[in-house]
Chains A and B, each alone.
Chain A
Amino acid sequence: MASTPTSQNPQKTNRIGLTVLEYKGGKTTLCAGCGHNAISERIIDAMYEMGIKPEQVIKPSGIGCSSKSPAYFMSRSHSFNGVHGRMPSLATGAVLANHKLIALGVSGDGDTASIGIGQFVHLMRRNLPILYIIEDNGVYGLTKGQFSATADIGSKLKTGVVNDLPAIDTCSLAIMLGATFVGRSFSGDKKQLLTMLKAAIAHKGTVMLDVISPCVTFNDHEGSTKSYKFMKDHDEPITDVNFVPAFEEIEADYEPGEVLDVTMHDGSRLKLRKLEDDYDPTNKAVALKRLAESKERDEILTGVFYVDTKAPNFIEMLNLTEAPLAILPESVVRPGREVLEKCMEELR
């Protein structure tokens, strides 16, 4: 198998006439059973189902196992595997150069929450249109299993070392700082992850998805809080996520009041069925409070925590012209002789 497997029929074509094989990547070199491979599969499925042209996607990433994964999906998209913890700045520059592209940034928990926390928080503030995925396993894989900053207090390494420091909750941070679509999922939850990814693709602002993605080699044992077993026992969906793309018919609705119906920028609909009566994914304070409580209750909340489709994104704030800056012609980017003459006159 030359590519990451997906659940799609290889002969079938999507709405732009591409088969799922045209979304494939190189052969994965990650460990068998690595959560990251499952995430790559869902990304392929989501892009295929949404009918996104691979050539319109860029895949910036940092350093680490997670950041290698863009090589294993969508080879027809440009990738930039940069330096450790600095994916946000590379992605920001690329999106400014060409805001027509869909940016799918892939990072890990070490890449984001330790070395990259500075760039991460500032990216969240700008509401840059980007889908930022943290493939979160709580350990450094490539350097053989040291704790990262998302490891929970009390979590145990294979060697028996116990983590004494509180975890950084990237979702709370993202909500607090201005990201406009924030959620958590689990690499083992195919349906939820795929649905969240599809909705994320439709969102035109900063999407921050923390995807728990167990490391089968270094962090999948008894005592780990990022193992498959721990996730199965503690996964607590806060919203049931459904998504209807703009190009699909809307099916029978839920009872009013039970479902939050969010119209995305492209006209598609994100339908969040509340699993708790008083939860409101459009209210920052409620989301932050519920996330804080989950710590005390030993739950790992999943689902879409917060969504805001009204906030202006960075491209709008910068008032960028419609055409990508990257391809503006000389007649646009080089003012005429009379401008230079005027500037010179002012300096005489």
Chain B
Amino acid sequence: MAIGETAVQDLAKESGQKRIVNDLSIQVATVNGSGSQSANTVLLRTIFQMGVPVSGKNLFPSNIAGLPTWYTIRANKNGYIARKKEIDFLIAMNPETAREDVLALAPGSAVLYDEPLNLNTLRQDLTFYPVLYDKLVASVTTDAKLRKLIKNMIYVGVAGQVLGLEVPEIEKAIGKQFAAKKKAAELNINAARVGYEYAASSLTKADPYYVQRMDANRGKIIIDGNSAAALGAMFGGVTVVTWYPITPSSSLCETLIDYLKEYRIGPDGKATFAVVQAEDELAAVGMVIGAGWAGARAMTATSGPGISLMAEFTGLAYYVEVPAVIWDIQRVGPSTGLPTRTSQGDILSNAYLSHGDTKHLLLIPASVSECFDFAIEAFELAERFQTPVFVMSDLDLGMNNWMSDPFEYPEKPISRGKVLSAEDVERLGGFSRYKDVDGDGIGYRTLPGTDHPQAAYFARGSGHNEKGQYSERPDDFERNMARIRKKFETAKQAVPKPVVEDAGNKVGILAYGTTHWAIVESRDQLREEYGVETDYLRVRAFPFTEEIEDFIRRHEVVFVVEQNRDAQMLNLLKIEFPAELSLKLRSIAHIHGLPIDARSVTDEIVGRLEVKPAPAGKAKAAGRAQEQR
């Protein structure tokens, strides 16, 4: 291929500057509605196809068109995929933010920009690559409608040449992106080529960043958390899906609809599922509860404002003991908050959602594969414990693309929990819906339609006795509430255990959900830069299991890292565990709408521990670090 033979003149190489290979962040600054998403996905996929670990995060506004959007791509040979604070390579496409974006860069970064913006006059300590987009676009198309889109694929080509992306991989990625539209694919490949050739002939490489083929991604997939959850729900045997559109959860149900239409239509051409777009979140969760009561595997997906609306119904399902699965793709609250930004701000409210004494099972995925697994597990737990289960994803996990090993087919057969058939009722001579027969707090239920005169019971959100009859008797109420609490105790043996890495250090870190990815990197930074060794526990469920209590007991100090203002997980631990344990907990809570980064965590931990950078190769033993209270 002709263009593969030309290469950008490499000033960095000639000057002996150190090359930084497979360790960079690219930020594309653009406006939403400009069609840059395809181009950014192509960049991401190209790096992925070259075998380099990569992640992409879309920082977008709550708007349809015209407001600033940033897409960040991080390629890292060590597999760090958390957001990196520093931008190494800026593709400045938005005149509105270009100046501010450039001024914020660290010295040595590179900027690819539209020549008329004259960004090169702003700083002397950056590498600037001017591109005359208008001229290049004109050589690809004369169609005014396509120009804006073509511009995007041109920067892919230019950046590709400058960073050393392989042309066949770019073309393959474009082909995949426009799989259904051959003409569009050709046009875009042509645009990328124009950019690539322009860079080869007109630009001189002066920044140190390179992408080079590795082999770290063999067999891996790229998927967003919402799609992974949708797949999991389908393999979990979902039969009723209800939803009300809300960012960032909508794509979960939309993707699920696509999958169900493809794979869950029976040989008779009939649907083995029902999907309803409800009039609001009240109705969405009400339908889930009605369906769960009648025996369906039912779920809904929402975000903070929807959760608030679902509070009353959640209490009903808790007290009537109806299975329900609710995905909460957390965004920044309170109120409308930042609807398109990520947070872990619903942990505390969901744990005890609704009035009166209620507590709920929470599953907290950190990865797309856990989204898949927990989508299945949520149904199993909801039906086993006859209670609502919340899956606490977030916008970062749900809407961004993540690399993953392929998902594993569920080996455990579907279990519907304690459901009595007509034959069971006949054999038992009747049943008491809310009686603790097995000592685990979980009663037996029947489904409506069970063909036996003694199968029916009266499900009610008002006070009831073991038979489900209306009761205001103090002893009935107390006994019933104690039994429901016992279910929660039983659930401690059933929910996913935390993931623990404990080498007997004195400093522990406790985190959950997507904060995990910053912790992985931060622990390496703490070890390599400060000689601080840490242990780590990642919470994956509520109720808390004994491993969590043990972990806190074993450590002198435990940093609880999370993405909210009020240290919600830390406070939940305080409520659930003995008071003396809470003295060991230290909060690192960040909330600004951007996914948490490792450097912020590292800086805060070393600040609290009052440790100094260790001389290279002579890192101090971690445990000796004294914490400053």
Question: Which positions in A face B, CB cutoff 8 Å?
Answer: 22, 26, 53-56, 58, 60, 70-71, 75-83, 86, 88-98, 100-101, 118-119, 122, 318-322, 324-328, 330, 332-335, 337, 339-340, 343-344, 347-348
Q: What would 17 A/B residue contacts be, using CB atoms closer than 8 Å?
A: A79-B456, A89-B278, A93-B242, A93-B287, A94-B294, A95-B294, A97-B240, A97-B295, A98-B295, A118-B279, A119-B279, A122-B279, A321-B268, A325-B240, A326-B295, A326-B296, A340-B409
B219: A residues at CB distance < 8 A? 348
Given A80-B293, A81-B458, A92-B290, output 19 extra A-B contacts at Cβ < 8 Å: A55-B452, A55-B456, A70-B458, A78-B446, A80-B320, A86-B286, A90-B293, A91-B290, A94-B291, A96-B240, A98-B296, A319-B269, A321-B266, A321-B271, A321-B272, A325-B272, A326-B291, A330-B414, A348-B222
Is B606 positioned at the interface, with any CB of A under 8 Å from its CB? no
Q: Is A58 in contact with B448, judged by CB distance below 8 angstroms? A: yes
Q: Which of A81, A319, A344 touches B459 (beta carbons < 8 Å)?
A: A81
Q: Is A96 in contact with B291, judged by CB distance below 8 angstroms? A: yes
Q: Is B453 in contact with A22, judged by CB distance below 8 angstroms? A: yes
Q: Is A94 in contact with B286, judged by CB distance below 8 angstroms? A: no
Q: Is A78 in contact with B459, judged by CB distance below 8 angstroms? A: yes
Q: In the complex where A93-B288, A93-B294, A98-B294 touch, is A334 in contact with B220 (Cβ < 8 A)?
A: no
Question: Which positions in B face A, CB cutoff 8 Å?
Answer: 219-223, 231, 234-240, 242, 259, 263-264, 266, 268-276, 278-280, 282-298, 312-313, 316, 320, 406-407, 409-410, 413-414, 446-453, 455-462, 469-470
A318: B residues at CB distance < 8 A? 271, 274-275
Q: Is B298 in contact with A97, judged by CB distance below 8 angstroms? A: yes
Q: Is B276 in contact with A83, judged by CB distance below 8 angstroms? A: no
Q: How far is the CB of A67 from chain B (nearest CB, A)?
A: 10
The complex places the Cα of A79 from the Cα of B457 at a distance, in Å, of 7
Q: Is B458 in contact with A344, judged by CB distance below 8 angstroms? A: no
Q: How far is the CB of B367 from chain A (nearest CB, A)?
A: 14
Q: In the complex where A325-B239, A344-B406 touch, is A79 in contact with B272 (Cβ < 8 A)?
A: no
B295: A residues at CB distance < 8 A? 97-98, 324, 326-327
B448: A residues at CB distance < 8 A? 58, 77-78, 94, 98, 101
Q: Which of B237, B242, B280, B453 touches A55 (beta carbons < 8 Å)?
A: B453
Q: Is B459 in contact with A55, judged by CB distance below 8 angstroms? A: no
Q: Is B461 in contact with A325, judged by CB distance below 8 angstroms? A: no
B235: A residues at CB distance < 8 A? 334-335, 340
Q: Is A328 in contact with B239, judged by CB distance below 8 angstroms? A: yes
Closest to A346 in B: B221
Q: In the complex where A90-B290, A335-B235 touch, is A97 in contact with B313 (Cβ < 8 A)?
A: no
Q: Which of B221, B284, B453 touches A344 (beta carbons < 8 Å)?
A: B221
For the complex of A and B, the 8 pairs showing the least CB-CB separation, nearest first, are A93-B290, A89-B286, A326-B295, A93-B291, A97-B296, A97-B294, A333-B237, A93-B287
Q: Which of A71, A98, A321 touches B449 (beta carbons < 8 Å)?
A: A98
Chain A CB within 10 Å, residue with most, of B286, B288, B447, B448: B448
B453: A residues at CB distance < 8 A? 22, 54-55, 76
Q: Which of A101, A119, A337 touches B294 (beta carbons < 8 Å)?
A: A101
Closest to B455 in A: A55
B462: A residues at CB distance < 8 A? 81
Q: Which of B271, B279, B287, B320 touches A320 (beta carbons < 8 Å)?
A: B271
Q: Is B293 in contact with A93, judged by CB distance below 8 angstroms? A: yes
The complex places the Cα of A347 from the Cα of B283 at a distance, in Å, of 34
Q: In the complex where A83-B313, A335-B234 touch, is A89 in contact with B287 (Cβ < 8 A)?
A: yes
Q: In the complex where A94-B293, A122-B279, A333-B297 touch, is A325 in contact with B274 (Cβ < 8 A)?
A: yes
The complex places the Cα of A94 from the Cα of B448 at a distance, in Å, of 9
The complex places the Cα of A86 from the Cα of B285 at a distance, in Å, of 10
Q: Is A93 in contact with B286, judged by CB distance below 8 angstroms? A: yes
The complex places the Cα of A178 from the Cα of B414 at a distance, in Å, of 38
B312: A residues at CB distance < 8 A? 83
The complex places the Cα of A122 from the Cα of B448 at a distance, in Å, of 24
Q: Is A118 in contact with B457, judged by CB distance below 8 angstroms? A: no
The complex places the Cα of A337 from the Cα of B413 at a distance, in Å, of 13
